[in-house]
Amino acid sequence: MTIRREFCDSKCRQRFYTAEKQAARAEARKSQKCLFCGGQMGAYGRIYCSEACKVRSGDDMRAKRNKRNCKVCGKRFFPTNEGQVYCGLKCRDDDKRIRWPKVCLVCGITFRPHQVEQVTCSRACKGQMQRTVPDRTCIGCGQVFRPKRAAQTACSKSCAMKARMRKG
């Protein structure tokens, strides 16, 4: 059963309940312990009693993690997550700018690309790659031939004419 309280006005009621909540929070705070040292808690909503405990706790957690070598500069660092391979943003950005060597798809030479998408070492290899169209079956006579252009479907003009005549 709740006791109904009477107040002189709404502000008086609000002050009473605010003070009651603050007292309950202070009582709850007394039972909370610091996660690092187990000492008495100061402010409400914190997990460490002081900034020093917070810092020491972070150092303790970092010591438990294994150090790694940065992929770019080789410096030892404590990763903040499992997938971290760079010691900082500068090294990450530098690595994205570095063009790692690739092997040309046409001639097999190792080269450093100018563009990320680049797959051939030179314009000549690029042109050769674009010119190489797979063998096709002629729509006129049915023989296998190597087309000179990507759109070519017949081995000769006469086969192309035969195919057009059949279509009607």
Residue extents of the structural domains in the chain: 10-64, 68-97, 100-158
Beta bridge partners of 40: 33
pLDDT digits (tens, 9 = 90+) for 58-108: 766 666 667 889 988 999 988 888 888 999 999 988 887 777 889 998 899
What confidence tier does 118 reach under pLDDT thresholds 50, 70, 90?
confident
Write down the number of H helices and E strands in the chain.
5, 6
Nearest-angstrom CA–CA distance, 164 and 86 = 62
Do 25 and 41 form a contact (C-beta atoms < 8 A)? no
Nearest-angstrom CA–CA distance, 168 and 164 = 7
Do 103 and 112 form a contact (C-beta atoms < 8 A)? no
Which residue has 């042109």 as its token pair? 127
pTM, to two decimals: 0.31
119-123, 127-131, 148-152: range with highest mean pLDDT: 119-123
Q: Give me the mean pLDDT over the 15-31 stretch.
A: 80
For 137, the 3-state DSSP assignment is strand
Identify which has the larger pLDDT, 22 or 108: 108
| CA-CA-CA-CA torsion sign (85, 90, 93, 95) | negative
Residue 158 tokens read as: 């006469």
